[in-house]
Chain A
C-alpha cells in the first residue's frame, strides 16, 4: 500500500507542470477516481483545508491524503513522493544551468524570457482580480500592500499577519453588532 501511494504521488509530482494548483485535478483523478482511496466529498474538504494552510497546496493535499490512508507513515511517504520529482529535476538543472548561463545564446533566450515572467505574474494578478471580486476597501488594501512592498522595506510577513488578524477583529466586531 505504501509503495502504491508513493508511486501515485511521485507520478503526480512528475507530470504536473505550472505550479501547485495544476496538481489538484491530477491528484483528484488518481486518488478519487482511479484508486477510490477517498470519497469525492471528503477530497473537496481536504482541498479546502490544504488551500487554507501555509505551504504549497499540492504538498498539503498529499500530506493529508497520506494521513487518511496510512497515518503518519502515509503522510511522510506521500509528502516526499510529491516533492521528489521536482527536487531531482531542479537539482539536475542547477548542476548544468549555471555553467552555461554566460553562453551568448542562452543569454539572448533569457533576455526574452524575463519579460515573459512579468507577463505570467501580471496575468495571474489580472485573473485573480477578475475572479475574486475584490473591490472598494479591500481593493484599496490590495493596492496599499503592493505600494508598501515596492516602496518600503517592511517584510511581507507583517502584511499577512496584519491582514489576517485585522480581519478577525473586524469581522468579529461586525458579527457582534449584528447580534446585538
Chain B
C-alpha cells in the first residue's frame, strides 16, 4: 500500500474515533503512527505534542500536518490534514441535514455518558505513556512536578509552562 493511502486511512480513522478533545485521541494516534506504522519514535511524538501546545490549531491537525510531511512531503501533509477532518465533515453534514432526528435521541446522550469515563482513562494513559519516555532521570521528574503544580493549581498558561520547562532543561542538562 502506498504511503499516501496509508496516511489517508490512518488519519481518517484517528479523526473518526476522536471524542473528547485532543488529548483523548493521543493513545489512538500513538498506536497508529508508532506501533502500527513506525513513522516516528516516542520522543519525536512528544516533541511534536509540545510544539502543538505552542502553535495555533487543534492538536489532531497539527499532528496530521507534521506527520504527513515527514512521511510523504507536502502532498503527504495535505492528505493527512484533510483526512483527519473528513470524518468531522461527514458527521456534521449528516447532522445538519437530519438535525431534528438527532436532537431528540436519548441514545446519543447515553453514548456520551458512557464514553466520558473512558475518555478520562484514555487521557490518563496518555500521561503515563508520555511519562515513560520523558522521565529520563530525577531532574526530569522534578521539572514535571513543578510544572504540574503551576498549571493545575496556579493556572499557568500552557505556552509559558513549555517555555519555562525549556529554560529549566537548558539550565540543568
Contact = CB atoms under 8 A, between A and B. Distances in A.
A143 B118 CA distance: 8
A54 B66 contact: no
A94 B69 contact: yes
Interface string B88-101: 11011101100100
Interface string B50-77: 1111111111111001100110001001
A116 B130 CA distance: 10
Contacts of A49: 92, 95, 99, 102
Interface of A: 13-21, 23, 49-50, 52-60, 63-64, 67-68, 72, 75-76, 79, 83, 85-87, 89-91, 93-95, 97-98, 101, 105, 107-129, 132, 134, 138-139, 141-146, 148-150, 153, 155-157, 159-160, 162-168, 170-172, 175
Contact of A54 (B18, B78, B127, B128): B18
A55 B51 contact: no
Given A124-B23, A155-B31, A56 B88 contact: yes
8 contacts: A54-B18, A75-B92, A83-B61, A112-B172, A123-B148, A128-B119, A132-B116, A156-B17
Q: Which of A14, A19, A105 has the most CB atoms of chain B within a 10 A radius of its CB?
A: A19
Closest 4 CB pairs of A and B: A112-B169, A167-B114, A86-B57, A145-B121
Interface of B: 13, 15-19, 21-23, 26-28, 31, 35, 43-44, 46-47, 49-62, 65-66, 69-70, 74, 77-78, 81, 84-85, 87-89, 91-93, 95-96, 99, 102, 106-108, 110-131, 133-136, 140-141, 143-148, 151-152, 157-159, 161-162, 164-170, 172-173
A2 to B, nearest CB: 17
Contact of B173 (A14, A95, A112): A112
A156 to B, nearest CB: 5
Contacts of B87: 54-55
A56 B126 CA distance: 18
A152 to B, nearest CB: 11
Contact of A67 (B96, B127, B170): B96
A68 B157 CA distance: 34
Given A19-B21, A79-B89, A64 B96 contact: yes
Contacts of A20: 21-22, 58-59
Q: Which of B92, B93, B152 has the most CB atoms of chain A within a 10 A radius of its CB?
A: B92
A116 B165 contact: yes
A29 B85 CA distance: 23
Given A56-B59, A121-B126, 18 more contacts: A17-B158, A18-B159, A55-B18, A57-B21, A58-B57, A86-B56, A86-B57, A86-B62, A93-B66, A94-B65, A101-B47, A113-B50, A114-B47, A116-B50, A116-B166, A142-B117, A157-B13, A164-B112
Contact of A144 (B62, B78, B121, B146): B121
A19 B58 CA distance: 4
B55 A112 contact: no
Nearest to B70: A94
B125 A145 contact: yes
B173 A111 contact: yes
A83 B57 contact: yes
